Structures are given as C-alpha cells and as structure tokens.
C-alpha cells in the first residue's frame, strides 16, 4: 500500500466530507498537524465536529478552522487560549462538549481498540455526568463514557518510515497516538521520513498499521506562552 503522498491536499483527497468527525492530535501548540489543518481549511469542508485536547489559538492550529466557521462542534478539554472560540461559544455559534483531559485521551484510545465504552470516576457529581449512565463498583459511583471512532484522524509526528511507523518527540506524544488510533482513516504529517528498517523497533511509538497516509513537510516552531525576565546583571 502506498502511504507517502506529496502534499497535505493530496493526502486528504477523497477523504473529506461535510459533517465529518475529525480527531486531531496535539497539546497546546505542540504536535499540531498544522499542514493538514491548513489543507482542510483550503478544501472548505464544513459542519465539522473536531475532537482535540484544545482548539489552537486564533491564528494557528484548529483556530484557523474556527476563523472560517468550518467547525460546528468541538469535543475538547482546554480552550483557554482562543478568543474566537470563546466568542463563538458564548454567542451560541459553536457547540462544545467538555471532557476531562484523561477521559478524552481514553475515549480516543478506547475507540481505536474497539472498546465501545468504559466507566470512570472522573466527572461524577458534576455537569460532566449529566445524561450519562451511572453504575456502582465497590461502593463507588462511575459514569459511562463512550469510545470515539472518528471518520478521520490527523496527527503530527517527528519521524516515520514509509510504512507509517511513527516516532513522536517529547510532549507531542501525548494526544497524537490515541487520536491516530481512533480514526477510520489516519493521515500523519512528519518532519522526516527515514528509510524502512532504520527505526529501532523499541523506539516506535505508534505502529504503521494505524497510519494510512503520510506526508513530510516543514513545520513552524511556536511558543505558546513566552515568559521573560530582565537579566540581573543588565
């Protein structure tokens, strides 16, 4: 199976459709599939539901799709750095399903493992539990959370070989692997594609069986919050 494509738009050709559910990797501005997000924006695909830890910032990451009103609903844990997200949500233009961070990661992982649902204590007795099944185990209450199976997963990794084996770097590893697992189709963008067999099997974070399409590209290195102080000897 050919997995390597020449560009993000080529890798997404025939995959996108209005109203689809997309699982997107990344944490803050780390490990964001920025090239694929830009290609979705350019394709004009609309009424999207996006499951992602956060919604990017106003001019980067998923914030680009919010600017163009292509996102109908977000399934997220943290949205505090995006003013446009806040404006759309407070004005009723954008649906929001809040998930505790670990719950969202496990929902993606469960979906990728064929697990339709699981029970967790996180969120019991809060608005998170509203409308969800509650069961008691060993004297404690747990709520049912459904696994996520997305129409498309978009992720960003550090290295890959042409079979789609992925290696993530540092914090980019956290949400990208579960997001990749839960997509019916997974498209990954990487900084470098290396020859087959050159990756140490013990260093592969996500097996290529989960990855269907792959691109290599140049990526922006952003800092989400830059904090500086004056030098004491200045």
Over the stretch 149-203, which tens digit does the pLDDT of each residue have?
999 999 999 999 999 999 999 988 989 999 999 999 999 999 999 999 999 999 9
Structure confidence at residue 234 (pLDDT): 59
Q: CA torsion, points 195, 201, 182, 21, in degrees to nearest 10?
A: -20
Structure confidence at residue 215 (pLDDT): 97
Q: Which residue has the tokens 């992602």?
A: 52
Checking if the pLDDT of 30 tops 90, the result is: no
d(CA 129, CA 169): 34
d(CA 165, CA 147): 24
Domains of the chain and any CATH numbers: 8-114+152-216 (3.40.1080.10)
| pTM to 2 decimal places | 0.91
Q: Can you say whether the dihedral through the CA atoms of 202, 205, 211, 215 is positive or negative?
A: negative
């Amino acid at each position: 199976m050919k997995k390597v494509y020449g560009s993000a738009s080529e890798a997404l050709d025939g995959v996108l459709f209005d109203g689809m559910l997309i699982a997107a990797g990344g944490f803050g501005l780390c490990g964001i599939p920025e090239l694929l997000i830009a290609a979705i924006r350019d394709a004009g695909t609309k009424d999207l539901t996006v499951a992602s830890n956060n919604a990017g910032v106003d001019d980067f990451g998923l914030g680009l799709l919010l600017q163009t009103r292509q996102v109908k609903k977000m399934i997220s844990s943290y949205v505090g750095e995006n003013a446009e997200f806040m404006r759309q949500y407070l004005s009723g233009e954008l649906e929001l399903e809040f998930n505790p961070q670990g719950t969202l990661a496990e929902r993606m992982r469960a979906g990728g493992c064929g697990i339709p649902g699981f029970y967790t204590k996180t969120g019991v007795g809060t608005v998170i539990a509203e409308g969800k099944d509650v069961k008691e185990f060993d004297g404690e209450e747990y709520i049912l959370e459904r696994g996520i199976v997305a129409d498309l997963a978009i992720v960003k990794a550090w290295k890959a070989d042409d079979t789609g084996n992925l290696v993530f770097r540092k914090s980019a590893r956290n949400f990208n692997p579960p997001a990749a697992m839960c997509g019916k189709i997974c498209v990954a963008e990487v900084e470098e594609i290396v020859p087959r067999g050159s990756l140490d099997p013990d260093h592969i974070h996500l097996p290529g069986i989960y990855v269907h399409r792959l691109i290599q590209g140049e990526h922006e290195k952003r800092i989400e919050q830059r904090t500086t102080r004056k030098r004491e000897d200045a």
